[in-house]
Structure 1
């Protein structure tokens, strides 16, 4: 009998050892960007930090490259709770919380410091509360995606006039569409994971994205010119399903929030460094870099786009953002 009791105790102890540190919370986090982009590398870093701080109870699974769908698909999935987290461009949430769209407006930011100060302050907190109440999603942080520039397959762009009838791929949101039209271009929305092939087959004449994205997606292989329009400083939002967030204990919420904060710091530093280094790489890959008449591009947009969206964003919000020092 004693041997039998000892045997049972050993079996139970082995089971306890096997399950110790096993994941109790599994979080699916998707991104449309490639696995080697800092935004996706950030997910891996957050996963590592969260696992360490939770003793392995929190497991974050990364799904890069649009594995879980396009931008809109994943945002909808997080809202519905069939996906847990997503990192996406801020303007893509504007269809549900219109004021959020302003943070990806062209020529609104003075720099990354201005952007992060606004999003970490009362304006950003108000947008977060609206997203929670209207769509059941919570913003855990704002990442720096980089300064967006235009690339073209075979056309030099020096002035706004050169953009006339230019077929440019833009993300699927109305702010980008309005910006491209203000330049006289023909905007063509499409999913990011379809873009490389569209550029190679000349379905579109060009696209616009930050340098690290141009690099990770290898657009330099199918684009000849990089036009330094600097039209948008893009924030991307790290968003979680609100119902899942509320299921987490306060300790686990704190662990995840701190891990995301560390991950964002890594992402931002990596993006800034890559932006410094990539121009030389693009030239080595055969791209020609053009500095256009930037004020023409700026004026064409600011003359029409802010007024077009003022009612949707909220009257006076543009000015409030400009007044943040």
Structure 2
């Protein structure tokens, strides 16, 4: 892991972009790949990056050096995606819905109540509709989706109000990522969707700027949200993929042998991370309960029914007619 302030990063962005564009032969001996992350170092996704970096460095004998910048050092998720698109940053990982700001139809991959289970979600990487989306993203924004990772089942937490059904969240201010599908889901529950960047979430919860939030268990735990939230409600409303995104120009500029090594290391890292997250999900309910959270298994239909009644139709023009049904049928 490398330390870098956002100011220092932005000051060097132009130079970084130029380095990415340079032919390999003109670069310094080590080809540096800078990978920005929003999550803290304790999260398996950041640990995955470090494992990938170690494997790549070993197998390329130091020719390729992946440097990790976790915990939002380089700004918001949108900041980092913009930086990858411009070439100032090499890689980042973010949700499909967030990437929808670059390619609107991509947000369907992170739609609520679409996937039956993680195995169903993992099929998306080989689906023709996803391949087409990747081609479009490369063409339109110069971004390549290098891999699909599992991020976990998303659950609801609240600060002071116990929740047994969607009726109990009516009027509550629930933090969502700055993404339209998440806002529509929360509004279908009758709550007030309040966009907050993840690196500002702990403070927003501690100060009461929002009443609750939703995230996978490993994210809740690694960000220590149990310190500022009393209730854990096991809604499981989204089975979340996250996408490893890389600057296409950089990717094409890698030597074939090095590109193969990076691809293999990413695949190995994703396999490890997905298993680690699944393992953590199996034990974290008890861990969070022991930390003082109350745990509720709510009326799931009260949450899913209003969302499924409105959201697929609401976003059909954005996702493409039949896209939801095609993915649900995988």
CA distance in 2, matches of 1:313, 1:121: 15
Secondary structure in 2 matching 1:252: helix
Alignment match, 2:149: 143
Measure how far apart 1:130 and its partner are.
1.0
What are the superposed Cα offsets for residues 132-171 of structure 1, whole Å, 9 maximum, x if unpaired? 0111000110110000000000101111111111101000
Q: How many residues end up aligned between the 2 structures?
A: 303
Measure how far apart 1:23 and its partner are.
5.1
Question: Which one of the candidate residues 318, 321, 328 is aligned to 1:322?
Answer: 328
| TM-score, normalised by the number of residues in structure 2 | 0.90
Distance 1:295-1:135 versus aligned 2 partners, 3 A rule: same
Alignment match, 2:64: 58
Question: Which one of the candidate residues 79, 82, 89 is aligned to 2:95?
Answer: 89
Measure how far apart 1:98 and its partner are.
1.5
Alignment match, 1:35: 41
CA distance in 1, matches of 2:126, 2:39: 24
Q: Are 2:218 and 1:197 equivalent residues in the alignment?
A: no
CA contact under 8 A between 1:23 and 1:59: conserved in structure 2?
A: no
Secondary structure in 2 matching 1:292: coil
CA distance in 2, matches of 1:203, 1:314: 36
Instruction: Compare CA radii of gyration and give the structure with the larger one.
Output: 1
CA contact under 8 A between 1:109 and 1:115: conserved in structure 2?
A: yes
CA distance in 2, matches of 1:289, 1:138: 39
CA distance in 1, matches of 2:287, 2:66: 33
CA contact under 8 A between 1:84 and 1:244: conserved in structure 2?
A: yes
Measure how far apart 1:95 and its partner are.
1.6
Alignment match, 1:265: 271
Alignment match, 2:164: 158
Deviation >6 Å, runs of 4+: none
Alignment match, 1:224: 230
CA distance in 2, matches of 1:127, 1:311: 15
The CA RMSD measured in Å over matched residues stands at 0.9
Alignment match, 1:69: 75
CA distance in 1, matches of 2:109, 2:127: 13
Question: Which one of the candidate residues 101, 112, 118 is aligned to 2:107?
Answer: 101
Question: Which one of the candidate residues 198, 204, 212 is aligned to 1:206?
Answer: 212
Question: Which one of the candidate residues 188, 196, 199 is aligned to 2:194?
Answer: 188
Measure how far apart 1:101 and its partner are.
0.4
CA distance in 1, matches of 2:102, 2:92: 16
Q: Which runs of 5+ in 1 are unaligned?
A: 1-21
Measure how far apart 1:119 and its partner are.
1.9
| TM-score, normalised by the number of residues in structure 1 | 0.92
Alignment match, 1:296: 302
CA distance in 2, matches of 1:296, 1:164: 12
CA contact under 8 A between 1:51 and 1:58: conserved in structure 2?
A: yes
Measure how far apart 1:120 and its partner are.
2.6
Q: Are 2:223 and 1:236 equivalent residues in the alignment?
A: no
Q: Which runs of 5+ in 2 are unaligned?
A: 1-27
CA distance in 2, matches of 1:149, 1:162: 15
What are the superposed Cα offsets for residues 270-322 of structure 1, whole Å, 9 maximum, x if unpaired? 10000001111111111000011101111010000110000110000011112
